[in-house]
Amino acid sequence: MTESASSTSGQEFDVFSVMDWKDGVGTLPGSDLKFRVNEFGALEVITDESEMENVKKATATTTWMVPTAQEAPTSSPSSRPVFPPAYWTSPPGCPTVFSEKTGMPFRLKDPVKAEGIQFCENCCQYGNVDECLSGGNSCSQNCTRHIKDNRDQKEERDLGEDNEEEDPKCSRKKKPKLSLKADSKEDGEERDDEMENKQDGRILRGSQRARRKRRGDSAVLKQGLPPKGKKAWCWASYLEEEKAVAVPAKLFKEYQSFPYNKNGFKVGMKLEGVDPEHQSVYCVLTVAEVCGYRIKLHFDGYSDCYDFWVNADALDIHPVGWCEKTSHKLHPPKGYKEEEFNWQTYLKTCKAQAAPKSLFENQNITVIPSGFRVGMKLEAVDKKNPAFICVATVTDMVDNRFLVHFDNWDESYDYWCEASSPHIHPVGWCKEHRRTLITPPGYPNVKHFSWDKYLEETNSLPAPARAFKVVR
């Protein structure tokens, strides 16, 4: 094999060289496809005649050379290469300019000073000096603006450094970065796909949207403190500055006020609690983290990406054995059968401690007589779709709260509320207020829905109007 052949075979395939170029338009032999080189040096297919005419007009007053993707040995140009602004080019590696005579590229040792060639300070492209804008250092108005902005920023930095040198007390301090990384470790299973038979002691877990929300909550709690020296937050100053008024404390319920008791929960303690995404479900939980008056709870046997935060006095958490005492179904950890699960054995196996009953504030709640009973019907707002008011049923009661379930819907929409909740209404409220009532899915003759007929069909009673405690 000759040296020339070896050299040729070592070169990469050049798509530009196989085309027939005329007036800035490249034609692929054997086809009707026509191409042009855009402002980024990439090939574009010409789709209509008007576009091709524009390309030809752009090259009518100049001599446009065939582009190439290859580098050739350095040679002297026979004449000054000329490029229209749209075809300024800067191939990978050293910038390349093409000879009119040979069509081969040659490398400029000092392109800025080469005769007839000008360098753009912003985009690092090269072209004919006659095509440059006034000033000779940019190829377009956009590049001119970038160059000016960069110079202004450099002057500001230089000025700031000069000021720091003059004032030794002034020093640059890096601001601490706030960590937004939340636990996203997965056990290879999608909780959305875990819709398993309850009789087997397994349950459907939360949705992806809920998972992202929990990760977001975790990220917020993991954010660092403000940098040293930064002014501490002050509500009084902020309200004065905004000319705003704080919401009176009397409008908040007792459980919404400032916590006065100490958070006695410790990491590793076991307890029972409500799954926030399926509020009819009670699960085995472990304290995974403690932060102030908040505790992070983990579903035993599941990925920590489903962990969630609650206050230490939350109404949805209960001590070990509460479900058995109150006849509620407890869903055991993944891998355990419901009928075989035993708290004492489980605690010994895990070498864990049950959270003391004294830590649960909801164990000493005074129960107020209520007119609600399990099985009663009402009209309730769907919290996940607040525009919908649906046919609902009371399916559970604990202390002063009851569980709202939407008829013929799955349990992921259930939620706990009190008699004073603004989300619930007595039977007939929608008709009285000219609102649309969403009937149960699959119910026949939706347009002629009648509460009297539905109550008779379901053999149920409506929740009495007196049971709804309207807050005024």
Cα–Cα dist 84/163, whole Å: 45
CB atoms within 10 A of CB 55: 23
- Domain-embedded: residue 276: yes
Q: Are 296 and 408 part of one and the same domain? A: no
* Joined tokens for residue 183: 């636990």
Is the CB of residue 105 less than 8 Å from the CB of residue 96? yes
Same-domain status, 358 and 399 = no
Q: What's the pLDDT at 133?
A: 57
Amino acid at 127: G
Residue 381 and residue 360 share a domain: no
Instruction: Determine, yes or no, domain membership for 214.
Output: yes
Residue 158 lies in a domain: no
**SS3 state at 89:** strand
Half-sphere CA count of 217, side-chain side, radius 13 A: 16
Range of the domain at 451: 377-467
Single out the residue in 326, 342, 364 at which a domain terminates: 364
Q: Which residues of 182-209 are buried (b: 16+ CB within 10 A; e: fewer)?
A: bbeeeeeeebeeeeeeeeebbbbbbeee
Please report whether residue 111 resides in a domain. Answer: yes
Contact yes or no for 40/77 (Cβ under 8 A): no
Instruction: List alpha helices for 206-274, DSSP H.
Output: 208-221, 235-242
Q: Do residues 88 and 129 make contact, with C-beta atoms less than 8 angstroms apart?
A: no
Among 364, 391, 421, identify where a domain stops. 364
pLDDT value at residue 125: 58
The DSSP 8-state label assigned to residue 252 in this structure reads S
Structural domain total, the chain:
3
Q: What is the pLDDT along the chain (472 residues), one digit of tens a residue?
A: 444 444 444 445 567 777 888 878 888 787 778 888 776 667 788 877 777 777 776 665 555 555 555 443 343 433 333 333 333 444 444 444 444 434 444 334 344 444 455 666 766 555 555 555 555 667 677 777 777 777 877 776 666 655 545 444 344 333 333 333 334 344 444 444 443 443 344 334 444 445 545 555 544 444 445 555 567 889 999 999 999 999 998 888 776 777 777 899 999 999 999 999 999 999 999 999 999 999 999 999 999 999 999 999 899 999 999 999 999 999 999 989 988 899 999 999 999 999 999 999 877 777 788 899 999 999 999 999 999 999 999 999 998 999 999 999 999 999 999 999 999 999 999 999 999 999 999 998 888 899 999 999 999 999 999 999 876 5
Look at residue 3 and tell me if it is in a domain.
Answer: no
Beta pairing class for 317-318 and 20-22:
unpaired
User: What CATH number is given to the structural domain containing 441?
Assistant: 2.30.30.140
Residues 206 and 355 in one domain: yes
| Domain-terminating residue out of 109, 131, 153 | 131
Q: Are residues 315 and 209 in the same domain?
A: yes
The verdict on residue 255 lying in a domain is no
> Do 435 and 392 have their domain in common?
yes
Sign of the dihedral through C-alpha 115, 118, 124, 125: negative
Query: Domain check: are 203 and 295 in the same one?
Result: yes
Q: In sequence order, what are the beta bridge partners of 416?
A: 403
Same domain, 346 and 381: no
Question: What are 402's two structure tokens?
Answer: 């009851």
Q: Based on the fold, state whether residues 406 and 303 are members of the same structural domain.
A: no
- Are residue 354 and residue 412 in the same domain, yes or no? no
Strand 437-438 and strand 385-398: the pairing is parallel
Verify that 73 and 27 share a domain, yes or no.
yes
Alpha carbons 359 and 113: distance in angstroms, whole number: 80
**Are 31 and 125 contained in the same domain?**
yes
Q: What is the pLDDT of residue 178?
A: 35
